[in-house]
Amino acid sequence: MATLDATAFDRGLKILYPKGLTYQWLKDASNTVKWLPKATDFVGKQWNINPVVGAVRGSHTFADALNDKSTPTFVEFHVTRVPDYAIVSVSAEMIAASKTDVGALRQAIQVQTDAAMAEMARARSMDVWGNGGGAIGLSVTIAGTLITLATVSDVIKVDVGMRLELSSDDGTGGAGVRVGAPGYVTVSAIASDTGVITCTGNVAAAIAGAVSGDYVFRKGDYASAIAGLYAWNPATAPGATLFFGVDRTTHLDKLSGSRINGGGANKEDVIIEACQTIARYGGRPDTLLVNPMDLGDLMKGMQSKVYVPVKTSDPSIGLTALQIMTPRGSVNVIDDEFCPQGHAKLTRRDTWLLRTLGADPHFAQEDGLKWRTEGSADAVEARLRSWGNLGCLDLRHTMDITW
């Protein structure tokens, strides 16, 4: 095997990614991921988010104010980190063949690293719209080598070569994934216009008990995703089940956001009604996140259109939004293909934080090396990883809209 020159590999990475891995990863990520504020200081055991659910008591009568003297009522979400990994591998043969061709070596590094970052970006883009369960989507039929998704647009979360598992729940019910030999299938083809996934083998033979109506997962993702927008602000009001240690039924709008059903009305009218409703809870949204198909419908019905630049977590990566006026001021409408069609999130940017321990993503290099000789293959590998979660600091400003 060719001698691994870690210095040459690291130099290649710096040339290929002069702005760092996070910049490259962010370019591949969805608009919502770009839009979210970020921090890399998620240290300690957990992140405690402490919304106020009850203010200090008062009265127009001094004696009553004195007798009712109190402190604010807080709850505490104990948010924990969730890991994500991707492995970059370059064969020893490629390294040996590139000894006298630095450009070829850099190209080999770039192809593998770009692919790994694209996988992590897709996972993060999917997960920020999820409920923490990690499901790709719901199957409507499973027959032979085919899995047909109930929502066609969910196929953007799947890729050729991806290994898939199945479960009877969406990752939040505790059923776990179905077992079998081997207990998963591998994607060989995707039909983006029909939502049909073709696998390399018979699904029912590989996964015991597989039935139509099962939820589909990337292997290893069941109940292992970050708490996305639909975890913090479910489309249906949550019950008393603890969420990061909190029973949200004590004050639904402050602890789980609000929700509205437009009933198929004109989308611009639904947005105005949503802003009127959220004002009841003290909400002042500044952003509407929508599926591109729903944004198109909205634009068709508008007489005049104003577009504005939108702040992102990296000033060199900009977004443009459609701006509309509402009873709560101007709202920037941003499209995201990972937003479920038929739904939207009315929210406020400065109430969200995507918080990680270290850069998102970063190389594992506790021993000082990014690249290591693989133990089971004639190759070298680098491990990309991320530890973090999404948190909402004030849910009064967030509402789920069903068009």
Report the distance separating Cα 9 and Cα 5, nearest Å.
Answer: 7
The tokens for 109 are 């590094």
Same domain, 12 and 118: yes
Residue 402 belongs to some domain of the structure: no
Among the candidates 158, 189, 218, a domain finishes at 218
Listed range (44-53, 150-159, 294-303) with the worst mean pLDDT = 294-303
Q: Give which of 252, 186, 298, 293 is closest to 400, Cα–Cα.
A: 252
pLDDT recorded at residue 21: 66
The domain in which residue 209 lies consists of: 135-218
**In a domain? residue 318:** no
Backbone angles phi, psi at 11, to 5 degrees: -65, -40
Domain boundary, last residue among 218, 234, 250: 218
| Mean predicted lDDT score pLDDT of the chain | 90
Given a cut of 60, is residue 192 above it in pLDDT?
yes
Distance CA 267, CA 299 (A): 9
42 within some domain: yes
Instruction: With a cut of 50, say whether residue 42 has pLDDT above it.
Output: yes
Residue 323 lies in a domain: no
Residue 177: predicted pLDDT? 98
Does 233 reside within a domain?
no
Flag whether 273 is in a domain: no
Same domain, yes or no: 27 and 80: yes
Q: How sure is the predictor about 112, in pLDDT bands with cuts at 50, 70 and 90? A: confident
How many domains does the chain fold into?
2
Helices (H) then strands (E): counts for the chain: 11, 23
pLDDT at 156 over 70: yes
243 vs 313, residue with greater confidence: 243
Least confident span in 91-95, 129-133, 337-341: 91-95
- Domain final residue, candidates 194, 218, 242: 218
The pairing of strands 319-326 and 306-310 is antiparallel
| pLDDT above 60 for 232 | yes
pTM above 0.85, yes or no: yes
pLDDT exceeds cutoff 50 at 204: yes
Distances from the Cα of 195 to the Cα of 40, 192, 202, 215, angstroms: 36, 5, 18, 14
Residues 6+ apart with CB under 8 A from 75: 50, 51, 53, 246, 250, 255
Same domain flag for 97 and 139 = no
**Mean pLDDT computed over 366-395:** 89
Position 27 pLDDT exceeds 90: no
Same domain for 26 and 141, yes or no, is no
The whole-number average pLDDT for the span 209-234 is 98
Query: How many of the other CB atoms lie within 10 Å of CB of 81?
Result: 18
